[in-house]
Chains A and B, each alone.
Chain A
Amino acid sequence: MRKEEAFTQLIKENEGIIFKISRVYCDTGEDQKDLYQDIVFQLWKGFDSFRGESKASTWMYRVALNTAFTFLRKEKRKGTSVTIDNLHLTYEPDDPILEERLVEMYVQIRQLSDVNKGIILLLLEGKKYEEIAAITGFSRSKVATRISRIKEQLRTQLVK
């Protein structure tokens, strides 16, 4: 299979991951689109060096989280973004109750620190502590401690 084909297939299979990470780290639609594009570009750049030593999704989460972290800190984002008219990064759930819950959820997540944002995202994705540790580089026990702190913070935010 050609490199381009293998890459596009990987991205299509996992586009939800990129969408969700973009939405957790960026508030506005325009920034989400920019970050989304940046993540795809970084994945392409690293695709040759990815030799399947880890699971494709583990590698994708790692690159996407790293890209989100550095993306937010670029003082002036001057990477020329291509206008992609066909891509509308909007997700509109049919269920208004779900929509309301999602908005509330993003508000809660965005109040967390960068490290904790990444960890909760992975937890919500159903990742086990070991997988979260492999993606983030923290030890399993550190991940467990952080998750219990995140739970605590979410409860506190709820009271406020």
Chain B
Amino acid sequence: MELEEMQAAWSQMSQELEKQKQLTDEIILKMTQQKYTSQWNKIFNAEKIGGVICYVALVAILANFRELDTIPLQVSGILCMLILAILPILSLKTIQAMKRVNVTSMSYKETMKTYAKGKKNFVNFQKLNIGMSFVFMLLTVPLSAKLFNGKDLFETLDPKLGIAVPFMLIFFGLLMWVVMRCYKSVLRNSEKILQEIEE
């Protein structure tokens, strides 16, 4: 179908639609009164709860920091606290960037661009997040052993660790693989949108 034929069909449809008006005041108001909570708001709230948990853990490590009496334990403690302090802030920032898509004031081009860029940043942050979570998980092993059981794993290695660490590695490897698979298509789509805008 060529453009001219489309225009003729479209115009005929528009004329008929004008005669078939369906909306009433009641329907319009009903539509606008619904409590709309977007998916992003839900994630944002979950992230906020996660952030609070991270900061509680940070305070707990800080309060017991004097019990970490060797340099390796202290370094582990500091790294853990850094991860707990920085990751929630970065996470909230990337989600806020996604929420910046304001459909009521932006042009179509701006909406697409902001959305695609925000999505790319979000996916890249999630990759960093998983890497940092892995480091964090490794660091919490000696920290929790010391803080809860008084054992210094850097001095006396527990044989159980020989089983636990490989399991952790396998678990994280699988998690990373699944996450990357999910995000690959998201990234591809974002790239496609950006490319489409620039064409």
Contacts and interface: CB of A to CB of B under 8 A. Distances in A.
Contacts of B104: 42-43, 45-46, 49-50, 63, 66
A108 B7 CA distance: 13
B10 interface: yes
A95 to B, nearest CB: 8
Contacts of A82: 30-31, 33-34
B32 A16 contact: no
A150 interface: yes
Q: How many interface residues does chain B have, given as a range?
A: 35 or more
A48 to B, nearest CB: 9
Contact of B6 (A7, A44, A76, A124): A124
A44 B101 CA distance: 16
By DSSP majority rule, is chain A's interface helix, strand, loop, or mixed?
A: helix
A80 B36 contact: yes
A70 interface: yes
B10 A66 contact: no
A119 B133 CA distance: 44
B49 to A, nearest CB: 18
Contacts of A113: 196
Given A8-B28, A11-B28, 17 more contacts: A63-B104, A66-B101, A74-B38, A79-B38, A80-B36, A82-B33, A87-B23, A93-B16, A105-B10, A109-B6, A114-B112, A114-B196, A115-B197, A126-B11, A137-B107, A150-B3, A158-B1
Identify the 8 closest CB pairs spanning chains A and B, nearest first. A46-B104, A137-B107, A137-B109, A66-B103, A44-B32, A124-B10, A136-B108, A66-B111
Interface of A: 4-5, 7-8, 11-12, 15-16, 19-20, 37-38, 40-46, 49-50, 62-63, 65-67, 69-70, 73-82, 84, 86-89, 91, 93-95, 98, 101-102, 104-105, 108-109, 113-115, 118, 120, 123-126, 135-138, 150-151, 154-155, 158
Interface of B: 1-3, 5-7, 9-14, 16-18, 20-39, 42, 101, 103-112, 115, 193, 196-197
